[in-house]
Amino acid sequence: MSIPAKTIYPRTGDRQTVYLDAVVTDPAILVGAYSMYNDFVNDPVDFQRNNVLYHYPVNGDRLVIGKFCSIACGAKFLFTSANHTRTSLSTYPFPIFYEAWDLPASEIASAWDNRGDIVIGNDVWIGYEAVILSGVHIGDGAIIGSRAVVTKDVEPYTVVGGVPASPIRKRYGDETIRRLEALAWWDLPKSQIRQLLPAIRSGEIAVLEAAYRCLTAV
């Protein structure tokens, strides 16, 4: 029995929006279910090439995107190889041009400072032309403002914006955030999430908790 192909386009007639897990082929890019990307400038199918930049296998770093994320047109993920090392007395990347300078090819990754994976939580909204730098972790439910440049980790359910990005406000109080994280509704099967949609969309954590208890009661 053949495995059905993943759905690429969530909406009939819309070729500007894709489910990323259906178009990404790089094993170092991990995308959760239903996370989507919209692009009205380039073909969104080319997200891996156009939006994940300086992502070379030599570093072993990954882009991890959770479930139900919304990524707007032109958002970029800038990886380690975009950096130039600051441990040298020169920012010139001599190890990249190892042949010209008679250096070992094995030292090429020393041309930059490796800051590690980019990790995006679940239900994160990344705005138009935002830039996420290597090593950054963004918590569940966060919102990244348009053209923000994110250089540091973002707490769950926090709105950030600016260059460099800084916190603007939390979407909810700490207790509500704790309760949302505990529910982790995004990990439920699609059929159960569909039943919970009225409660999710109500905006009331108590309503969602009550519906969740009814749904998962044995």
Instruction: Encode pLDDT of 29-65 as tens digits.
Output: 999 999 999 999 999 999 999 999 999 998 889 999 9
Enumerate the active-site residues: 84
Domains delineated in the chain: 17-171 (2.160.10.10)
- Read off φ and ψ for residue 158, nearest 5 degrees: -115, 135
Share of the chain above pLDDT 70, in %: 97
Tell me the whole-structure pTM to 2 decimals. Answer: 0.92
For 5, which DSSP code?
A: P
Q: Find tokens 């250096």 and name the residue.
A: 103
Instruction: Encode pLDDT of 155-194 as tens digits.
Output: 999 999 999 999 999 999 999 999 999 999 999 999 999 9
Identity of the residue numbered 25: T
Report the SS3 class of residue 199. helix
